[in-house]
Structure formats: structure tokens, C-alpha cells
Amino acid sequence: MYTESYVNRVVENQREFFAQGKTLDVEFRIRQLNRLKKAVTEHEDEILKALFEDLGRDPLEGYFCDVGSLILEINETIKGLKGWAKPETHLSGIRCFPSITTKVYKMPYGVTLIISPFNSPILLSFGVLVASIAGGNTAVIKASSKSSNCTDIMQKIIAEIFPEKYVTVLGGGHEVADMCLSQRFDKIFYTGSPKVGVHVMEEAAKNLTPVALELGGETGNWCIIRKDANLKDAARKIAFFKALNSGQICININQVAVAKEVAGEFIKELTKAFIKQLGNDPVNSPEYPKLITESAFKKCKAEADKYKNKIVYGGEADEKTCKFAPTIIYPVDIDDDIVKRELFCPLLPIVPYADKEIDKVLETISGREKGLSLYVFTKDIAWAKKIMQRMQFGGGCINEVCLHMMVKGVPFNGVGHSGMGAYHGEWGFREFTHPQSVLIGSDRFNLSMREHPYNRKWKKALIELFER
């Protein structure tokens, strides 16, 4: 069992280690990233087994979502880190003459806290750790108690390659997270629900600790299907995504708005896509994941029971294995409760709308909390691009799902109730560093125009000239 004093000691030991300056060396950081990559590769089978035990993930899905994605993240960071960390040189401008040079140093924050969720436990712990290490920080990872097998293997891996004074992984429940939040960290990165995100910010504010939040869409991540969309293609991609991790993905589609002119055809295609990918009995498919806990299963079932008369596909469940089939609920009104909040399960409510009234749909969505993602299916790419630049959300796709978060060089982030801050690649490095500007002064040719006395006409003329 963890205690307040133990957590405090871990944080203070990391602060002492950081103060030694070892993490400032970029070569040191690259060596640690290589050690992490090597350890993840060596323990790959154990990681995949833990993902199966916690979430029922097929090994291939576990590799695709967690292990493989993590290795790609490490590779990108190792390749780019020297360039990202290089101090920038700026001309100070004529106002600062003769001090013409200013440097911007990318400084680490110090001791960081990473609070990770259960749904993608390896990637959303170690993936954030990559950014923290790249920035030159130390890290305490508070991993989820719900995915306990993954927490165990992460603790094993980190203990093998890093001293506790540099990186450590803590298990336990919310009480341990609160022990961590009561400490003075230099940066906090939290992934989870908006409700807990508020609590994290409240605790961080006590020490004015900067926070990055990656949250789920509080009122859901919408997918919009216009009447001109390729319905078979859309259905295939949506079925894959909704089945992935049994819907327990922060950027997953929460609800679909489909033009009623093609709603019936789309539902037929979506049903066929689920059957093709998971068979006629997804609950008993060894490839189909489970819900994380009995509580999550019961919550999903209770929601489905409310709309049992509108279930047009799915609804089957097995409480013993915590598996709930992908379930299509149709028709649902845009103001129904089920589409006003994040579901985080395999239920998929379908909202029909008249295609000519798409602007009303977008207006309704925009009036709710900002989602973490938005997906649009249409042949009118110009319209889709316009919408993507008008709506506010974390990130999204046109005629695709989820792949935006796998693109090198672009940020993964939320906005408003779906989060703040960004990471992946250089964006993660930026999130875990502070840009520190330093002007290099000169002791020669200094002008006295900024100094008293000010009752000199030439000073006023020069200042006005320089500052236009």
C-alpha cells in the first residue's frame, strides 16, 4: 500500500535527481528512449498478454494500438530530438542595439506527473513518458487500477531500466492519484474524463502547476454522414472503429448523424460490416474485446435497456465475460439524452436528419461541449474542409476514422471540455518544455536613449522611429 510519505519521498528524490542536471543532456535523453524501446520490444509478449487479460484485446489489436504505436512514437522522437532541443537564435531588433542576439532555450519543467487511463494503458502511459523524457524531465506515472495487469508489467519494465529517482510507476486507485496531486509537481499530464480533469486542475492550481489534459468528448464525438457519402466505405470504417477496444477509446465515434435519405441503406451496410468483421456472434468472438469492469458492463447494459425498442442490431451480452456486442440504436433524436454525453462503450445511436438541414445539425453540435474528434463522410471535400475549419474539436478525419492521431508531425489534442495542450512527436516535446528567452547583451556602443534624463528631443525622435 502506498502512503502520503512514500509518494512525497519519491517526488523529492526525483527533484534532487533533476537538480543534478543529468537530464539536460540531449544524448542522455536519447539513451533513455532507446532503453525504453528495447525493454518494450523484449517484453512485447507480456504486454500483449496483459492487454488481453485486462481488456480482452486480440494480440494483433494490442500491437496495433499500443505496442507498435509506442515504438513509432519513440522512433520519431529519437530521430527529431536533437533538432527540437537545439536553442533558437533570433535577432533582437534595432530597439535592442547593440545587443543583437537572443537565444530561446527549450528547458524541461522538472518533475512531471503522468496520470494515465485504463483503455489504452501502455500507449497512454509510455507514450506520454516519451514526451516527458524527450523534454528532459523526470516522471511519476500513476497508472490505472482498472487495468492492473498492464500496470504490473509497466512497473516491471520501468523498474528494470530506470531508477525510481528518475522514472517510476505507481498503481492503486483514486486515493493514490490524490496523494500524487497533493504533491508539488512541475508539470501534470492527465488523460481521462472531463469530471476528473476539473479535479486535476483544481489541485494543480494550488501550486500553479501547468497542466495538459487529454479528455473524452463530454457530449460525444460526432460522425456525420451526408447523403452523397460512400455508405459501404463509411460503414466498414465505422464498424471497425466502434468494435475497437469495445468502444472504449477517447476519440471513438459516440453517435452518428446520417442523412435520412440514406439512413436505411447505411444501417444495412453497417450491420453487414459488423457481421463480416466479427461474425454472427461477436460476444463469443475471441477477437472482440470486453468492457473493462463489471460496473462498466452494467452501465452499458442499463443504457441499452432504455432504448431496447430501438435496437436494430446487436444488444447481445455476456455478464460473465463483460462482453457487450456492438449495438446500433435507431432512430434517435438529436436531443435525446444518449447523444448528449460520452458513452465509452459499443453502443452506437444513429440520428437521422434531412440532408438539406445539415446546417441545423452542425449548429446543434457546435452549441454543445467541444468534442475530442469529428468525422465527416461525403464526396463534397470542399464542403467538408470548410466545416472542419469552422467547427471546434480536437482533431478528426474526412472519409476516414481515427488515423489522424497516427500521422507523424501533427498534434493530438483536445479543446475546451475535451482537453488542453498537445503531444505526439515534436508537439509532445513542446508540451514538456518551457521556451526560455535570453538576450545576450553587449558592453560596447550602448545608446543612452532609454536612460534618464528623458527631456532630450533626439531621444523621443529615435524611440518613435525604432518602435514603429
Q: How far is C-alpha 186 from the chain's CA centre?
A: 20
| Cis check: omega of the bond before 331, within 30 degrees of 0 | yes
CA 145 – CA 455 distance, rounded (Å) = 69
C-alpha cell recorded at residue 293:
469492469
Give which of 178, 183, 227, 176 is closest to 209, Cα–Cα.
183
357 given a catalytic annotation:
no
| φ and ψ at residue 268, rounded to 5 degrees | -60, -45
Q: How far is C-alpha 445 from the chain's CA centre?
A: 51
**Residues 6 or more apart whose Cβ sits within 8 Å of residue 92:** 99, 100, 101, 102, 439
Question: Quick one: DSSP state of residue 407?
Answer: S
Residue whose C-alpha cell is 531508477: 163
261 given a catalytic annotation:
no
Side-chain half-sphere CA neighbours of 354 within 13 A = 3
CA-angle at 15, arms to 12 and 19, nearest 5°:
145
Which helix (H) or strand (E) is 204 found in, with range?
Answer: helix 194-205
C-alpha cell recorded at residue 191:
488523460
CA 301 – CA 145 distance, rounded (Å) = 23
| R_g of the chain computed on alpha carbons | 25
Per the document, the length of the chain is 468
Among candidate residues 250, 322, 345, 402, the one labeled active-site is 250
Give which of 445, 418, 12 is closest to 218, Cα–Cα.
418
Among candidate residues 61, 73, 203, 214, the one labeled active-site is 214
C-alpha cell recorded at residue 228:
452523397
CA 201 – CA 380 distance, rounded (Å) = 41
Catalytic residues: 214, 250
